[in-house]
Amino acid sequence: MTDAPGFLAVDSGGSGMRVVVGTVEQGVAARRESREPVRTGDRGIDAGHLMEQLVPMVRALMAESGAVRLGAAVVGAAGLATLGDGLRAELPAALEREFGIGRVALVADAVTAYVGALGARPGAVVAAGTGLIAMGTDLTRWRRADGWGHLLGDCGSGAWIGRAGLEAALRAHDGRPGGSAGLLARAEELFGPMRGLPGKLYPRPDRPAVLASFAPHVAACADVDPVAAGTLRAAARHMAESAAAVCPTAGAPQVALTGGLFKLGAPLLVPLEEELSKRLPHARRVPAAGDPLQGAVCIATDLAAGALTLPSDDAMLCVVTGKRD
C-alpha cells in the first residue's frame, strides 16, 4: 500500500463479521473474517464486543497490507436502524482512539446490501435470507419496507416460507384442509414426529434459522406439490409488494435481488419475476453486482475520497467526522 490514508470496511451480521482494509487507489488490500456474531444488550448492538473482535483483526490487516494509517471507516451492521443507539454513541470515538480514524459512517446492513447490489443508483433492492427487507432510494432519501422480524413481518423470507411449509405439514398431520402430505413427510424426516415439533421449536433462541431451514424442502416439493408451489407464489407476492413500496415511481429505477434465499432457484424466482413485472413495469431488473461487504467497501472508498453522495439518514446511514470525547 501507499502512504495515503487507507479505509476500513466492516460487514457485521448474524453469522459473524467480515473486515477489509484498502485504499482508494488500490482497492481492497487485505481481509479477515470472524464467525462470532456481535452481541446485543440493553443498549442494542454491543459496541464493546464489536471492538473486542475488531481491534485485533484490524491490527493484523494493517500489518499484512502495510497500511500506515486509516482515514475513514464504514461499519455496516445488522439491526443498526432499531438497535444502533449504543453503537452510534460509542463506536466513532472508539475507532478514533484506537486507530486515529477521523471519518466514520455507521450504516444499516440493508443499505450496504443496496449499495453492493446497485451502487449509487436509484431503485430498489430486496435482501432475503432468513429474514427479508426491501430498501429503495431516489438518491435524496432512503425508504425501507418490512424487515420487522419473523414474528411481525419478514414476509416472504426463508423463515416465513419455512413456517408456512411446516403449517401445511401440521394441517396434513391433523387432517385439516390445506395440508401437504409431501411436506409432512419431509418435516418428519427433518424434525421427527409432528407432535413433538412445538417442544423442539418454541424454546430455541434461533427459531428464525430453524424455520428457514425448512424453506429448501418447500422449494424441492414445488414441482409436484400445489401447496408448496402456492407458498412460494405467496412469498414472491410479498417480496414484490415490499419492492414496490420502496421503489421510486419516476424515472428508470433498477431492481435487484440479493441474499441466500434466492438460491432456491426457479420455484421462487419464476413467480417473483412475474410479480415484479406486474407491480414495477417501469423498473429494470438487473443482477446484483455484489454483496453487503462490497457495499461497505464502496461506501468506505467514497468516504475516504470525500466523494460520498448517498443520502444521509439518522438511522440508516450516519457519518461522524472530527474529534469526539
Helix-strand-coil percent breakdown of the chain, rounded to 5? 45, 20, 30
Residue 1 confidence (pLDDT)? 53
Residue 322 confidence (pLDDT)? 61
Residues above pLDDT 90, as percent of the chain: 63
Cross-strand bridge partners of residue 74 = 9, 105
Are 19 and 58 within 8 A, CB to CB? Answer: yes
What sign does the dihedral 297-303-309-315 (CA atoms) show?
positive
**Which of these ranges, 42-46, 108-112, 198-202, 271-275, has the smallest mean pLDDT?**
42-46
Radius of gyration of the chain (CA): 21
What sign does the dihedral 212-39-146-287 (CA atoms) show?
negative
Phi then psi for residue 256, to 5 deg, are -135, 160
The 10s digit of each residue's pLDDT in 96-115 is 999 889 899 999 989 999 99
CA contacts within 13 A on the Cβ side of 317: 24
**Does the pLDDT at position 5 exceed 80?**
no
Are 291 and 116 within 8 A, CB to CB? Answer: yes
Cross-strand bridge partners of residue 11 = 18, 76
**Does the pLDDT at position 291 exceed 70?**
yes
**Which of these ranges, 43-47, 270-274, 297-301, has the smallest mean pLDDT?**
43-47
- Most confidently predicted of 35-39, 116-120, 320-324: 116-120
| Residue 3 confidence class, pLDDT cut points 50, 70, 90 | low
The 10s digit of each residue's pLDDT in 189-203 is 999 999 999 998 998
Residue 83 confidence (pLDDT)? 83
CA 178 to chain centre: 32
Q: And the C-alpha cell for 78?
A: 445488522
Residue 325 confidence (pLDDT)? 44
Give the C-alpha separation, 147 to 208, whole Å.
13
Residue 138 confidence (pLDDT)? 94
The 10s digit of each residue's pLDDT in 223-256 is 999 999 999 999 999 999 999 999 999 989 999 9
**Does the pLDDT at position 166 exceed 60?**
yes
Residue 207 confidence (pLDDT)? 87
Are 271 and 236 within 8 A, CB to CB? Answer: yes
Residue 323 confidence (pLDDT)? 54
DSSP line for 178-225: T--HHHHHHHHHHH-SGGGHHHHHTT-TTHHHHHHTTHHHHHHHTTT-
The 10s digit of each residue's pLDDT in 110-149 is 999 999 999 999 999 999 988 899 999 999 999 999 988 8
Give the burial class of 207: count Cβ atoms within 10 A of its Cβ; 0-12 exposed, 13-18 middle, 19 or more buried: middle
Pairing status of strand 6-13 against strand 16-23: antiparallel
Are 114 and 244 within 8 A, CB to CB? Answer: no
Please report which residue ranges of 76-157 form alpha helices under DSSP H. 80-83, 85-99, 109-118
- Residue-averaged pLDDT of the chain: 90
Residue 306 confidence (pLDDT)? 86
What sign does the dihedral 164-168-173-176 (CA atoms) show?
positive
What sign does the dihedral 285-290-291-297 (CA atoms) show?
negative
Cross-strand bridge partners of residue 245 = none
- 94-116 b/e (C-beta count within 10 Å ≥ 16 → b): bbbeebebbbbbbbbbbbbbbbb
3-state secondary structure of 109: helix
Residue 31 confidence (pLDDT)? 87
